[in-house]
Structure 1
Amino acid sequence: MYKNPIISKLKTNKITPEQLFMLSVLIVNGGNYLYNLILGRLLGPEHFADAAVLITFLLVLSFVAMTFQLVTAKFSVVFEGIVFKNFIGKIYKNALLVGVCCGFIIILCSTQLQQLFNTSSATMFVIFGIGVPLYFLMSVNRGVFQGKKDFKLLSITYQGEMLSRLIITLGLLFLLKIPSSTIISIGILISFLFGLIPFKIEHLTLKKTVLAVSDSKNITSFFMLTAFYELTQIIINNSDILLVKHYFDSYEAGLYASLALIGRIVYFVAWMFVMLLLPTVITLQKEGKDTAPILFKYVGYIATIALVIVLVCALLPKLMITILFGDSYLAMAPLLWKYAWATGMFAVSNIFAYYYLSLDKYIPVIISGLFGMLQMLLVVFYHNTLEQVVHMQIIAMVSLLVIQILFFLLSRKTLN
């Protein structure tokens, strides 16, 4: 009986956990994009501006909580046995404490947040604040899976969060006649519960945990470094949307939110490589192997993806906006490729920063922080038009990438 060699090869070659995770991240990003696109079409520019504020708050929260996830991921590789158990117990307690404090502050300042960002309701911030502690627990849980390279369980948590938010939010929008901002915040809150599945309950302990002084110092140093870098991520990724919401009216802010969503495709695709990069670099360093090849590999991937997306945005801007958001957002077509260019530069420079973060090197992280502040200050001082806002980001992000590349070349030359 004749056997097709291609089919036989597919049967013998199993999908690796890394490939499964990359596929899962693509699906999750696709689902999150679908969530945003449907909201944009259903709500229109003005109401979508409120939704964009909540989505931006969610992104800000994800970056803050990512500090705990990355710290957990790194030391899940480094620590073993009882040291690992004590570390996980301690990191869960700290994450829960920070989550409760952040959530309480958001609830307490809900009225002020409504006024600051010109939203239609303060209730959406109250509901969002209630869910914040859950997100921090979810991030530590994911950090364990990431560090142990248990990409199957890591994929399930991301899939659960995305699918539940998409289905529940859209279902409630059609069933309930209450403000859309309230519904979106409810959907986000419930999705945090689904994102906790599967949860390693044995890691969560109320017992006092003790770590060696040297281990505690290493954890604290890496935590502070990561927290600083995630702060720069918050500034670079989200300050433009929040500043536009502050300086411009709801209609223009809604238009800009659609532009940002499309232009950030490359960044969200790049994130799956970051998730794979950190544990891989730490493992190679632990084994005494050269880590530069893995950096080159991922930089090549991201640079290629960024170039393709910028070209598509430059050649077919009206078609992309019409398909994704509809004719009411077409005013942003001329700016689409420019925003994608700025985001692409940031995505590539981000790979360099996370690479050095994995190696406990501080300078690239500080560089990112300085340019994050530069971007925010440029937008604060130059925001006469939306086009000017985008131009300021291009200046900051191109400069950041050039500096990161120069630092890499100089550091390699010094080593050689």
Structure 2
Amino acid sequence: MLVVTKRLPKLLTPEQIFMASAFVVNGGNYAYNLILGRVLGPAAFADAAILITMLLVLSFVAMTFQLAVAKFTAGFDPEAREALIAKALRYATGVGIGFGILCVLSAPFLQELFHTASATLFVIFGLAIPLYFAMSVNRGNLQGNQLFVQLSVTYQLEMLVRLVLTFSLLLLFQVEAAYAVSIAIAVSFVAGMFPFQKNNPTRGSKPVLAPEQYKQILQFFVLTAAYELTQIMCNNSDILLVKHYFEAYDAGLYASLALIGRVVYFVTWMFVMILLPKVVLLRKEGKNPLPVLKKYLGYIGLLSLSITAFTFLFPAFSVQLLFGEAYLSVAPLLGWYALATSLFALSNVFAYYFLSLDEYKPVALAGIFGVVQVLLIVFFHASLLEVVIAQVIAMGLLLCAQVSYFVLHSLKLKKASS
């Protein structure tokens, strides 16, 4: 696949290559989880799913650095860009070390909280966290420079190494599942660092960011961090809470449900990654970015509708095909979970669009309804059905709020221009 990716630029645009690669990467990650679920069974899969969920949580936190670097790399001159990358890499590594130490020290608490077989898996995961943050800065640099072919390769390498190493450890060396997953995740972070984008250093004195530039970056970073926190609440809090409130078997069943239902999010994620730098560049050139938003909303809406309809029409078939008969009891919940994820995916487009335009009220909206979702699950978790319906309600309200803000914002702009 890597060789194919390098040859494709002659046939496809970089954006098309990235989209195709994203399908491959998401497909590989999806296959990874599906095979794990089938091989391990619901109870053992619950422990592996916690690590995978922690990886997703980590990706949202590190995404703050990636998006900040991508946004301002696209808009800054070469000298400011060099200063930005150096500072972001230094700060990201420091934050990663801090989170890594916290994860290692809190490993016994995490074991008790999530009822896992061992605390060591959290120690292994924590030791690798700094690498992930450095990797995210590199990806932001590639994304901001619209080097989508190289960006594709970093995601492919991370996915392939994690996939191959996990099942090599499981099947060839008989390593316990949770340890195999944690080791493979750690090593995949190293692989994801390549190719590393080096900036051409400017001659003369060391480049520094102007105070106004630093202020812009800091403002965007803080608000993006707040939004990524809402992503964690909306996209991962349910699995963590279910692992806490339910027995391992039920938690494993729910993890399989979440994995199938979230195919909507995985499929639509690539459009959001392309949307941000495009909107920034269009704004810089004085062009209207609204057609780009409408185009990507159309793509994501069509994909979401198709997947959700399929899961409502063929829930048992979907569960049995992907996970097997051991997981069939969650089939009636599948369509509802896919609906919740679709609502969230559409809300996400509006939020990232406005983030690109330095409009931050949608971040607050996402935060409010992320908290609403957590509270609904905390108070209503008598069954897995209650957990899923809580998410449908929260994400439906979030999408309504984001659309309302978009309409009001558009009317305000029209009034100002008339």
Instruction: Tell me the TM-score normalized by structure 1.
Output: 0.95
Shift of 1:200: 3.0
CA distance in 2, matches of 1:201, 1:208: 16
What corresponds to 2:231 in structure 1? 233
Shift of 1:403: 1.0
What corresponds to 1:394 in structure 2? 392
CA distance in 2, matches of 1:379, 1:188: 29
What corresponds to 1:251 in structure 2? 249
What corresponds to 2:37 in structure 1? 40
1:87–1:209 contact (8 Å) kept in structure 2: no
What corresponds to 2:294 in structure 1? 296
The one of 38, 47, 53 equivalent to 2:50 is 53
The one of 239, 250, 259 equivalent to 1:261 is 259
- Structure 1 residues 279-326: Cα deviation after superposition (integer angstroms, max 9, x where no partner): 000001001111111111111111111111111101111111111000
What corresponds to 1:348 in structure 2? 346
What corresponds to 1:183 in structure 2? 180
Shift of 1:79: 1.2
2:99 is aligned with 1:102 = yes
What corresponds to 1:77 in structure 2? 74
- Structure 1 residues 172-199: Cα deviation after superposition (integer angstroms, max 9, x where no partner): 1012233210111000001001100111
What SS class does the counterpart of residue 360 from structure 1 fall into? coil
1:90–1:209 contact (8 Å) kept in structure 2: no
What SS class does the counterpart of residue 198 from structure 1 fall into? coil
What corresponds to 1:210 in structure 2? 208
Structure 2: runs of 5+ lacking an equivalent: 1-7
What SS class does the counterpart of residue 135 from structure 1 fall into? helix
What corresponds to 1:160 in structure 2? 157
- Structure 1 residues 260-297: Cα deviation after superposition (integer angstroms, max 9, x where no partner): 00000011111100100000000010011111111111
CA distance in 2, matches of 1:182, 1:172: 9
What corresponds to 1:5 in structure 2? none
What corresponds to 2:380 in structure 1? 382
CA distance in 2, matches of 1:238, 1:27: 23
Task: Report the RMSD for the aligned CA atoms in angstroms.
Answer: 1.6
Q: 1:183 to 1:212 in 2, by over 3 A?
A: same
Shift of 1:82: 1.7
The one of 54, 61, 64 equivalent to 1:64 is 61
2:128–2:189 contact (8 Å) kept in structure 1: yes
Shift of 1:208: 7.5
Letter of the structure 2 residue corresponding to residue 116 of structure 1: L
2:79–2:207 contact (8 Å) kept in structure 1: no
Structure 1: runs of 5+ lacking an equivalent: 1-10
The one of 137, 140, 146 equivalent to 1:140 is 137
What corresponds to 1:6 in structure 2? none
1:117–1:245 contact (8 Å) kept in structure 2: yes
Shift of 1:353: 0.4
CA distance in 2, matches of 1:279, 1:250: 42
What corresponds to 1:307 in structure 2? 305
- Structure 1 residues 63-118: Cα deviation after superposition (integer angstroms, max 9, x where no partner): 00000000000111111222111111111000000000000100010000000011
The one of 399, 404, 407 equivalent to 2:405 is 407
What corresponds to 1:29 in structure 2? 26
What corresponds to 1:273 in structure 2? 271
2:95 is aligned with 1:89 = no
Shift of 1:202: 5.7
What SS class does the counterpart of residue 323 from structure 1 fall into? helix
What corresponds to 2:108 in structure 1? 111
2:311–2:335 contact (8 Å) kept in structure 1: yes
Letter of the structure 1 residue corresponding to residue 171 of structure 2: F
What SS class does the counterpart of residue 139 from structure 1 fall into? helix
2:335 is aligned with 1:337 = yes
Letter of the structure 2 residue corresponding to residue 57 of structure 1: M
Q: 168-177 or 131-140, which moves further after superposition?
A: 168-177
1:89–1:209 contact (8 Å) kept in structure 2: no
2:80–2:207 contact (8 Å) kept in structure 1: no
What SS class does the counterpart of residue 176 from structure 1 fall into? coil
1:50–1:181 contact (8 Å) kept in structure 2: yes
Instruction: Tell me the number of residue pairs that the alignment of Structure 1 and Structure 2 aligns.
Output: 404
The one of 193, 196, 201 equivalent to 1:199 is 196
1:356–1:364 contact (8 Å) kept in structure 2: yes
What SS class does the counterpart of residue 288 from structure 1 fall into? coil
Shift of 1:39: 0.3
What corresponds to 1:318 in structure 2? 316
Letter of the structure 2 residue corresponding to residue 183 of structure 1: A
- Structure 1 residues 127-181: Cα deviation after superposition (integer angstroms, max 9, x where no partner): 0011100000100000011000000100000000000100010111012233210
CA distance in 2, matches of 1:202, 1:348: 35
Letter of the structure 2 residue corresponding to residue 177 of structure 1: Q
The one of 173, 176, 192 equivalent to 2:170 is 173
What SS class does the counterpart of residue 287 from structure 2 fall into? coil
CA distance in 2, matches of 1:110, 1:314: 39
CA distance in 1, matches of 2:258, 2:148: 29
Letter of the structure 2 residue corresponding to residue 165 of structure 1: R
1:258–1:329 contact (8 Å) kept in structure 2: yes
What SS class does the counterpart of residue 234 from structure 1 fall into? helix
CA distance in 2, matches of 1:399, 1:86: 41
1:317–1:334 contact (8 Å) kept in structure 2: yes
